[in-house]
Amino acid sequence: MAKNDKKDKKEEVNHGKLAHHYSAEDISVLEGLEPVRKRPGMYIGGTGPEGLHHLIWEIFDNSRDEAMGGFADFVEVVLLPGDRVRVADNGRGIPVDIHSKTKVSALETVMTTLHAGGKFGGEGYKVSGGLHGVGASVVNALSIYCRAEVHRDGGKFFQEYSQGKKKASVKKIGKSDLHGTIITFEPDKEIFNTQGGEIKFNWDTIANRFRQQAYLVKKLRISLIDARDYEGNLPAGRQGIDDSEVFYFKELGLELPSATFYFEGGLISLVKFTNRLSKPVHKNIFYIDKETEGVDVEIALQYTDDMSERILAFANNIYNQEHGTHVTGFKMALTRTLNTYAKKNEYVKESDGAFTGEDVLEGLTVVVSIKMGSEIQFEGQTKGKLGSPQAQGATATAFGDAFSTYLEENPDDAKAIMNKIILAMKARKAAKAAKDSVLRKGALEGMTLPGKLADCQTKDAASSELFIVEGDSAGGTAKMGRDRKTQAILPLRGKILNVERARLDRMLGSEQIKNLVIAMGTSIGDTFDLEKMRYHKIIIATDADVDGAHIRTLILTLFYRYFRKVLDAGYIYIAQPPLYKIKKGKEISYAYSDEERNAIVGKVNPDMIEVDQEGDAVEAIEEESEEKAKKSNKIHIQRYKGLGEMNAEELWETTMDPAQRVLKQVTVDDAQEADKVIDMLMGSEVPPRKSFIQTHAKMANLDI
C-alpha cells in the first residue's frame, strides 16, 4: 500500500510539472488573417509561380461569379508596373453598408475576414466558384498593398490594406453612375519568391486561363492588358466597370499588349479550339446543356484520329485537373451507351466482347462542365477534384440519354465513332498480346535486366538514379565515372521510336524502349504500377547538340504519353553537362554557357588563349596591356560536343556528382498546353509544325 501511495504521489508531481508547463498561454491563437500568412500553402497551394498566379484567379473568380449570376458581362485585368495587378468588373459592386455581425462595412468584412462573402448561404450567389469564399481575404493577406474600390448606389467607395490589415475605414470619395468592383493588389515579396527574388507573372499562363473561362461563361467578355513596361500615368477611371473599357487605353493613345476573349459558341468553341491541330473523325460536335437532379450538366465532345484522350473537367467553372465524380459519371454513361448502340446495330459480335473505358476514350476530346449550389464539395483546398456524389448520377443520366439520342439521329457520325472505337479495341487486344509476350519472355528469363544496363548496387528506389545516356561511348564513360552504389547507366542506341503516333504493340517492338521499360520495373499500360519504380531519379543525359536535343524530346514524349505518373511524381530530370572546360595554369573551371565562359576568361589578350580544334573561339575579348599579358598564364579552352568526349573523372565532377551537378526537374505545369505542343511537334500533321518552325525560327540558337 505504501508503494502505491508513493507511486500515486510521484504521478501527481509529474502531472503537476506537466500542468505547470502546459497552460492556456501555450495555445497559439492566430487572429484575423494571420493563419493565411503563417501557412499560405494551405490556401493557395504554394508560394511559387502556381501560388502567385492563384492570387489572380481568386480575385478574377469573384468577378466571374458575378457574370455567372447574370450581374456582369465584362471583366478587365491589367498587369501594372511595380508587380501590381488590377481586376475590375461591371457587376453589382461589393456591398458597403454596415454588416450586422461584424459592425463594420461589408466591404471590410469581405476583404479582412476568412469565410466571409456572398457564397455562404443567403441570396448572394446560386452558383459560385472561388476558394470557399475566402479568396479576396486571402489575396489581401498575402499582399503588401491592396486597394478595393466599389461603384454602387450612386457612390464611389474605397479602402486600402497592407498584409491583410486595413489602413483606414471604408470611405466614400465621390459620386458615380457606374457599378462594379475594382481590386488592385501587390503580392508580398516576403511570401513569394518566384524568380530570384522577383515577382514574375506569366502572360501566357494568364491568357490561357482567361481564354478557358471565356468559353465557359456565356456572354462574358474578358480583357487582359499588359502595362508592366508603361512608364506614364495610367488612367484611374472607367477601368473595367465600363464595358467599353477595352477600347479606353487605345483612346488615350496607349499602345499596350492586350487580348480580349469572347466566344459565342461556348463549349463547342472550346472543343474546336482544342482539336485545331487534330483531324476529327465525325462532323457534328455533340452538345448538351440540361439540368438534372438540381445539377446543371453541360458537355461537348468530338472524336479525333489521335490515340490519347483530352478530358477538360469543370465544376462551377473551376478547372478540375484531377477530374472527380462528374467525370466518373460521364465515363460510365459513355461506355454503357456506346456498348448498347454497338450491339443494337450489330457493329460487334458477342465473341468480340464489350468496349472498355480505354477503347471509348481513345481520341476523345470532351469538356464536362457542371454547376451546382452551395452543397458542392471539392477534394483539396485548390479544388483539383470534385467530390460531390450527386454530380456523378446527374451527369450520367443527363449525358447518357442525350448521347443515345445523338447517335440515333446522326447515323453518319455514329458510324465514324463506331469505326474509331472498334479500331481502338483491336489495337488494345494486339497491344495486350504484345505486352504479354514481352512479360512472358521476361518471366522465362527470370526477369533479367537489359544487358546494356549497368545497374546500381542499392535496392532502395528513393536513393537510386538511372542515367539514360546517348550511345555506347558516353555509356562507357558514365559507367567508369559513376557511383556504383546508387547510380545505374542505360545507354540508348541512336534515336528511339517516336511514340506520338505509335500504338503500344509497335512501341514494345522497339528494343530500346523495351529495355527502358524493363529497367524501370513499372510495366506499362493497364498493368503500370508506380510503386514498382526501381529508380526515383531518371536523368536524361544527352549531348549538347541538335541530335541530343531531338533524342531528349523523343524520350520526354515517351514519358508524357505512357508514363505520365512518373512525370507527375517528379522522377524525371535532365542533366546539365558543361559546354566548356577552361584551364588557367593549374586552375580548372567549367562553363555551362557562352556567357559563363566569357565571365571566367575575362578580358585578356587573344594571343594568350588556346582553343581546341573542335572548340569555339572566345567572343568579345578585348586586349590588355602588353606588360600585363606577359604576366598572365595562357588559357586553354576545350569545347565539349558530347559526353563521350569527357573522361570519367570530368563527367563525375561536372554532371554526376550530387554535390556539384546541376539537374533540371521536368514538370508539367500546364498539361493542356504540353499536350498541344507535343501533338504539334511530334504528330503526323505537317502544316502546324511548319508554321511553328517558321514563326519561331529566329529564336532558335542551334549548335550544329
Q: In the prediction, which pLDDT does 237 show?
A: 45
pLDDT per residue over 195-213, tens digit each? 555 788 999 999 989 999 9
Where does the pLDDT of residue 642 fall: very low under 50, low under 70, confident under 90, or very high at 90 and above?
Answer: confident
Listed residue (107, 193, 108, 82) closest to 142, CA to CA: 193
Q: State the cell numbers at 360.
A: 471509348
Least confident of 106-110, 373-377, 472-476: 373-377
CA 51/CA 47 separation, integer angstroms: 5
Q: Which of 317-326, 433-442, 458-467 has the highest mean pLDDT?
A: 458-467
Cβ–Cβ < 8 Å for 682, 553:
yes
Backbone angles phi, psi at 671, to 5 degrees: -60, -40
Catalytically active residues are 470, 543, 545, 547
pLDDT at position 238, please? 45
Q: Is the pLDDT of residue 11 over 50?
A: no
Examine the pLDDT at 382 and tell me if it is beyond 80: no
pLDDT higher than 80, residue 620: no
**pLDDT confidence of residue 172:** 93
Give the model's pLDDT for residue 132: 37
Count of CA atoms in the C-beta half-sphere (13 A) of 195 = 9
Task: Write down the pLDDT at residue 408.
Answer: 96
φ, ψ for residue 358, nearest 5 deg: -65, -40
pLDDT in tens, 538-567: 999 988 777 888 888 889 888 988 898 999
- Could you say which DSSP state residue 47 is in? S
Residue 435 has pLDDT above 80, yes or no: no
Alpha carbon distance 169, 102 (integer Å): 13
Distance CA 652, CA 656 (A): 5
Q: Report the pLDDT value the prediction gives residue 2, as an integer from 0 to 100.
A: 44
Separation CA 572–CA 566 (nearest Å): 7
What does the pLDDT look like over 305-337, one tens digit per residue?
Answer: 988 899 999 998 888 988 999 999 999 999 999
CA 223 to chain CA centroid, nearest Å: 23
Amino acid at 589: S
Q: Which residue has the higher pLDDT, 557 or 695?
A: 557
Question: Which of 34-43, 109-118, 349-358 has the weakest average pLDDT?
Answer: 109-118
Name the percent of the chain in helix, strand, coil, to the closest 5. Answer: 40, 20, 40
Q: Which residue has the higher pLDDT, 691 or 270?
A: 270
Region 90-105 average pLDDT? 87
The three cell numbers of residue 578 are 558543361
Does residue 131 register a pLDDT over 70? Answer: no
pLDDT 10s digits, 35-68 = 888 888 788 888 888 889 999 999 999 999 888 8
Question: In the prediction, which pLDDT does 235 show?
Answer: 59
Chain centroid to Cα 646, Å, comes to 36
Average pLDDT over all residues of the chain: 81
pTM of the model: 0.67
Residue 579 has pLDDT above 90, yes or no: no
Q: What b-and-e string marks burial along 375-388, b requiring 16 or more CB atoms within 10 Å of the CB?
A: ebbbeeebbbbbbb
Which residue pairs, CB below 8 angstroms and at least 24 apart, start in 591-594?
592/662, 594/619
Q: Which of 140-144, 466-470, 543-547 is the least confident region?
A: 543-547
Cα–Cα dist 285/413, whole Å: 9
pLDDT reported for residue 197: 59
| All domains in the chain, ordered by first residue | 34-261 (3.30.565.10), 267-430 (3.30.230.10), 449-577+665-699 (3.40.50.670)
Beta bridge partners of 181: 89, 150
Mean pLDDT of the 516-537 span: 89
Per-residue pLDDT at 686: 67
Contacts of residue 66, Cβ cutoff 8 Å, sequence gap at least 6: 72, 89, 91, 92
Confidence band, pLDDT 50/70/90 cuts, at residue 265 = confident
* pLDDT range class, residue 484, cuts 50, 70, 90: very high
